[in-house]
A and B are shown apart, each in its own frame.
Chain A
Amino acid sequence: MIDPKIKNVIEIKGLDTWYGSKQILSNISLHVERKEVMVIMGHSGSGKSTLLRHMIGLNNPASGSIKLLGKEITGLKSNELYELRKHIGVAFQNGALFSSMTLQENVELPLHEHTKLDHNTIRIMSRLKLELMNLSDNEDLMPAELSGGMLKRAGLARAVIMDPEILFFDEPSAGLDPVTSAELDDLILQLRDALNMTIIVVTHELVSAFKIADRITVIDNGQQIITGDKETIKKSTDPRIVNMLERRAMNDDIDADDYLNKLTRN
C-alpha cells in the first residue's frame, strides 16, 4: 500500500536515457512534493515529454532511479506498476480518447474496469467530472466531433475520474487559443485546491507555467538547467533561462566550418 504521509510523491535521481546513440536526458534529479504543481518547461525536443513518460513508467531509463509514491518503478513488474498507476492520472497532449467510444464511455472506462460500482453511480461520477470540465452537454459526442480544447478537457476528465493522487498533464496549452488555454490553467489550479492533487505539467508556455506553478524545472537539450520556485527562475542569470524568459531565440556560436560541413554532408 501507499504511505499517505509520504512527502515526496516523485523522486528522480541521476536519470539518463538514450534513443539509439543520442542521449535524450542526462543526469536528471528532482523531486515533487505532495500537493504542489510542478511545471516542467523546455522548448520542443528538449526531452520534457520523455521525462514525463519516464515518471509514469512508459519508458525505462538507461540508468538512474525513479520513485513514484515511494516505490521504485524502474524494473518493476507490470502488475505492480498497474497497481501503482491506479493512483495516478495522465492527460495526454491530444487527449488520447478512444475513438470508438463516446465522451462519456471514455470517461467511465477506468471506473468500469477498476471498481464494482453500479452503472448509475458511475454515470453520476462521470457527469460530475464532465460538469467540472464544462463538457456535460457533450457527453454523447464521439471524440472526432470535439474541438482541440474539448479533447484536452475530456482527456483531463478521464485522467481525474478515479481521483488520483498525482495528475500528469502533457502540454495543456499546445495548439489552443489564449483564452481556452487560460481556462485550462484555472482548471488545473481548481483541481489542486479542490481535490488536493499533486500536479505535474509539461509545457513550453511561459505565461501558463508562471500562472500555475509552485515550482518549475527547466530542461534544455536533455540537461536539467534549474529547479526552483518562480522567484528563483526569474532571478536566474543562466543565459538560457534569461533567453527563455525574454523569449529570445538561442543564438549558439556557430563555427563557419562546422556549419558548412552540416550543409554539405551526405
Chain B
Amino acid sequence: MGTNKLQALSSIESVLIRLGIAGIFLFETTLTIVLPPYSLKPLIKQIAFIGARSLLVIVVAGLFVGMVIALQFYDTLVRFGSVSLLGSAVGLSLIRELGPVLTALMVIGRSGSAMCAEIGIMRVDNQIDALECMAIDPYRYLFAPRILAGIICVPILTAIFILVGIFGGYFVGVVLFGVSPGSYFQGMSDTVLNRDLFMGFSKSLVFGLLIVWIACDKGFNLHLDKHGAYGSEGVSRITTEAVVLSSIAVLFSDYLLSALIL
C-alpha cells in the first residue's frame, strides 16, 4: 500500500479511536447521572451558569431575530397578498428551526466555549488529577451537573427565545406594518401543530446535550490531543475546536432531526 493510503487509514483510525473515547466519556457521565448519590447544589450552580446568565443575551437575540424574520416575511408575503400568513410563517420558522438552532449557537458561544476552556485549564493545571487523587470522580463532580444543566437549560432558553421572537415579529408586523393582531395569532395557532412543537423541543434537547458533551469532552481529554502543545496554546486550540465542532454538530443534527420528524 502507498504511504498516502497508510496515512489516510491511520488518520481514520485515530478519528474512530477519538470518537470511541468521546462515547466512553458520555457513557461514564450518564452512569453517574443515573446512579446515586445525587447532589442538587452543583446542578443549580451549572443551571445558573448555562441558563440564568444566558437569559439576557437570549432575550435580545430572540427579539431581533423575530423582528427581522417578520420584516423579511412581510416583504415577501405582501407581494402575494398573503400578509395574513405572517403569524404562521414567523411562528413556524421560529419554533421549528431558528429558535432551537440560534439558541444553541448562542449557548455555544457563551457557555460552551467557557466550559471547555475551564475544564481544559483544570486538566493542564493538574486540577483534574487532584480531583481523582482526592477520590472524587470527575465524571460525577464536574460533568454530570453540566450535562444535566445543558439538557434542562437549552430547551427552556429555546422556549424563551421563541416566545420573545414571536413578540418581536408581532411588533414589526402588527405595530409597524399594521397587520391585524387577530390574524397574526390566529394564523399561528392554526398552523403550528404539536408535531412542530415536538420538533423544536426535541432539537433543543439534543443540542443541549451535544454542546455540553463536546465542550467537556474536549477539555477533559486535552492531554490526548497529539497535534500541538499541551499548555495554554492547547487550551485555546481545543476551545476553538469545541466551538467549531459543536456548531457543526448542531447544524448537522438539525438537518437529521428535521428529516426524521417531517
Q: List 25 A-B contacts (CB under 8 A).
A: A56-B133, A58-B133, A78-B137, A82-B132, A83-B135, A85-B132, A85-B133, A85-B134, A88-B133, A90-B130, A90-B134, A92-B126, A96-B125, A96-B126, A96-B127, A96-B130, A98-B122, A98-B130, A99-B121, A109-B136, A110-B134, A110-B135, A113-B134, A113-B141, A158-B134
Which A residues between 61 and 97 are near B, CB-CB below 8 angstroms?
78, 82-83, 85-86, 88-90, 92-94, 96-97
Find out whether the CB atom of A114 lies under 8 angstroms from the CB atom of B133.
no
> B129 interface residue, CB < 8 Å from A?
yes
Task: Please list the 7 inter-chain residue pairs (A to B) with the smallest Cβ-Cβ separation, ordered nearest first.
Answer: A96-B130, A90-B133, A85-B135, A96-B126, A82-B135, A86-B135, A110-B134
Give chain B's interface secondary structure class.
helix
Find out whether the CB atom of B130 lies under 8 angstroms from the CB atom of A92.
yes
Q: How far is the CA of A225 from the CA of B136 in the complex (A)?
A: 35
* Additional pairs, 9, CB under 8 Å, beyond known A85-B133, A90-B129, A96-B126: A58-B132, A85-B132, A85-B134, A90-B130, A96-B129, A98-B130, A100-B118, A113-B135, A158-B130
What is the chain A residue whose CB lies nearest that of B126? A96
Kindly identify which residue among A85, A94, A100, A168 contacts B126, using a CB–CB cutoff of 8 Å. Answer: A94
Residues of chain B touching chain A, judged by Cβ–Cβ distance below 8 Å, are 118, 121-122, 125-127, 129-130, 132-137, 141
CB distance from A108 to the nearest CB of B (A): 11
List of A residues within 8 angstroms of B134 by Cβ? 85, 90, 109-110, 113, 158
List of B residues within 8 angstroms of A53 by Cβ? 129
Q: How far is the CA of A2 from the CA of B83 in the complex (A)?
A: 78
Find out whether the CB atom of A58 lies under 8 angstroms from the CB atom of B135.
no
Q: How far is the CA of A113 from the CA of B131 in the complex (A)?
A: 11
Which A residues between 202 and 261 are near B, CB-CB below 8 angstroms?
none
List of B residues within 8 angstroms of A93 by Cβ? 126
Could you say which interface size class chain A belongs to?
20 to 34
List of B residues within 8 angstroms of A155 by Cβ? 130
Q: How far is the CA of A56 from the CA of B131 in the complex (A)?
A: 12
Q: How far is the CA of A155 from the CA of B127 in the complex (A)?
A: 11
Q: How far is the CA of A110 from the CA of B135 in the complex (A)?
A: 8
CB distance from B32 to the nearest CB of A (A): 11
List of A residues within 8 angstroms of B125 by Cβ? 94, 96, 99
What is the chain B residue whose CB lies nearest that of A79? B137
List of A residues within 8 angstroms of B126 by Cβ? 92-94, 96
CB distance from B35 to the nearest CB of A (A): 10
List of B residues within 8 angstroms of A90 by Cβ? 129-130, 133-134
Q: Which of B125, B133, B141 neighbours the largest number of chain A CB atoms within 10 Å of its CB?
A: B133
Q: How far is the CA of A88 from the CA of B132 in the complex (A)?
A: 11
List of B residues within 8 angstroms of A92 by Cβ? 126, 129-130
List of A residues within 8 angstroms of B133 by Cβ? 56, 58, 85, 88-90, 168
List of A residues within 8 angstroms of B135 by Cβ? 82-83, 85-86, 110, 113-114
What is the chain A residue whose CB lies nearest that of B128? A96
What is the chain A residue whose CB lies nearest that of B139? A78
What is the chain B residue whose CB lies nearest that of A82? B135
Q: How far is the CA of A89 from the CA of B134 in the complex (A)?
A: 7
List of B residues within 8 angstroms of A97 by Cβ? 127, 130
What is the chain A residue whose CB lies nearest that of B133? A90
Q: How far is the CA of A58 from the CA of B133 in the complex (A)?
A: 8
